[in-house]
A and B are shown apart, each in its own frame.
Chain A
Amino acid sequence: MIRFDQVTKRYPSGREALSGISFAVERGEMVFLTGHSGAGKSSILKLIALLERPTRGQVLVGGRNTNSIRPRGIPQFRRELGVVFQDHKLLHDRPVADNVALPLIIAGVPRREIDRRVRAALDQVGLLGKERSRPLELSTGEQQRVGIARAVIAKPPLLIADEPTGNLDPQLALEIMQLFRRFNDVGVTVVVATHDVHLIEIVGGRRITLGDGRVASADPPPAAAAAPAPAPETLT
């Protein structure tokens, strides 16, 4: 589903966030990217969502080399991807229902179907009945769940989340992680960047630990778990 081949990302400031990193995420996997802040977690997610372009190397998403996607093709590419942000990125002057519906409105889905799917998505994240609320009337945890509902409403095969539990207390954080787990159970590939190692142990999933823009350590991929496999760095 995702493959990084010798990817280097250097920002205009000169900081090198990723240094020739290689790893792969298979379809249907649930993968956690961990590491201290500045290790490159966010950079990896930005490269997947085409918010940034690699300085060197190739990023493949869903079999497509993202280097070959022109700016004109980015909107369509992002519609096949669910993204959850630490700061939610909700529209505060619109009700919850409109926020969740946004990807469907952009995709041109008929109004009647949108209403039905918005209710279904809010039901999945436990916010049914909050359609008319404004995001700021909700708690942080609820806002994050609105963000998740928006990320999954278009039924993307891939869901990525950047520190989705960063601002939440442990109980709420666990609920959010379990929510991701449930989406993964129905076949969505999930990649979550988090520094909360404790949560990963509770929820369970493959862990890729980053350090200084490289893979510091990684659990073996599921297909290779039974048999000895080469280290992810050499999976090119």
Chain B
Amino acid sequence: MSIEAYFARHAQTFIGSLGRIARHPAEALLTMAVIGIGIALPLCLHLALQNAHELSGGWASAYDLSVYLDKGASLTRAQAIGRELQARGDVASIRVISAAQALAEFRDYSGFGPALDALGDNPLPNSLVVTPAVAASTHEGTVSLRNAIAAIADVETVQVDTDWVRRLNGILDVVRRIALLTGALLGVGVMLIVGNTIRLDILNRRAEIEVMKLVGASNGFARRPFLYSGTWYGLGGAILALGLVGVGQAILAHPVEQLAALYGSKFTLRGLDLATSASVLGVGALLGWLGSWFAASQHIRAINPS
């Protein structure tokens, strides 16, 4: 067989299988819808994770260190320590907060104004807020930075609370695993759905397959149109899944933005990028092909003309 004839034959089967799907649009659409939902679920989880990751990435201030000086250390001393720290490579920025400033802020936020007036003396020390460099914005990085700062003279305490960030990342890791598991399970599900549709397809066209085998068709030849059908099912399902995710994103985008605005954030929901969309289509087609391959190989071999 010439290469040209080989490709012509494939192209013919490829288009032919599409035509057959078009003749039974309801059944095909039903199969694609089930596949689409099967793909959309893990895809949504993936997107939610990506957005959560981006959101937590915006909380670099979670790693900020609060440095409280001895009560006796002057504001000048605080500024000197600030300059010293600023020179370090793992420090991004320094803010010096004078005792008076801190008291004023506390008065504003707490509503304890009169009680504070009764104290007479300012009980708050001078302090600094240290923001670590991006590279040091990890649990380990902040711990070593804290130890370094604690060793400086006149520093009373260094406060850092990264536990909740670690917990959040832990939760995200668990959810990521769940997304992977869900994806794998639903992937198998998609293959089974395609396989079952192809199996019914084969049973419906049993007589045709028998005739083909009678005149010398190999199992591979008889299988080919079903492989293309399966690929179409998978691809159609993937397109539906992208549509579903797109609709979901459109519905959620506005409320999420409003919610973010309430927290003073400019966060916007991120959708699927081109590369992810393309790989969703690829994975859908691949799953369809695999599902139909398993079903068709098994059931076509079992059909023997008599």
Residues from chain B with Cβ under 8 Å of A206 in the complex:
none
Taking A90-B211, A106-B221 as contacts, is the C-beta distance between A76 and B2 under 8 angstroms? no
Residues from chain B with Cβ under 8 Å of A107 in the complex:
1, 216
Taken together as a complex, chains A and B put the C-alpha atoms of A105 and B8 apart, in Å, by 10
User: What 0/1 readout, one digit per residue, does chain B (198-211) give for beta carbons within 8 Å of chain A?
Assistant: 00000000001011
Smallest CB separation, A153 vs chain B (Å): 10
Cβ–Cβ contact B214 & A106, under 8 A: no
Smallest CB separation, B132 vs chain A (Å): 68
Residues from chain B with Cβ under 8 Å of A46 in the complex:
306
Mark out the residues of chain B between 1 and 25 whose CB falls within 8 Å of any chain A CB in the assembled complex.
Answer: 1-2, 4-6, 8-9
Q: Which residue of the partner chain B has the closest CB to A93?
A: B208
Taken together as a complex, chains A and B put the C-alpha atoms of A37 and B210 apart, in Å, by 24
User: B217 near A: Cβ within 8 Å?
Assistant: yes
Taken together as a complex, chains A and B put the C-alpha atoms of A108 and B3 apart, in Å, by 10
Residue of B208, B214, B217 most packed against chain A (CB within 10 A):
B214
Mark out the residues of chain A between 90 and 129 whose CB falls within 8 Å of any chain B CB in the assembled complex.
Answer: 90-91, 93, 102-103, 105-111
How many of chain B's residues touch chain A, expressed as a range? 20 to 34
Cβ–Cβ contact B306 & A51, under 8 A: yes
Residues from chain A with Cβ under 8 Å of B212 in the complex:
102, 106
Cβ–Cβ contact A103 & B216, under 8 A: yes
User: What 0/1 readout, one digit per residue, does chain A (71-98) give for beta carbons within 8 Å of chain B?
Assistant: 0000111110101010001110100000
Taking A51-B305, A51-B306, A108-B1 as contacts, is the C-beta distance between A89 and B6 under 8 angstroms? no
Taken together as a complex, chains A and B put the C-alpha atoms of A192 and B243 apart, in Å, by 60
Residues of A participating in the B interface, judged by any CB pair closer than 8 Å:
46, 49, 51-52, 75-79, 81, 83, 85, 89-91, 93, 102-103, 105-111, 150
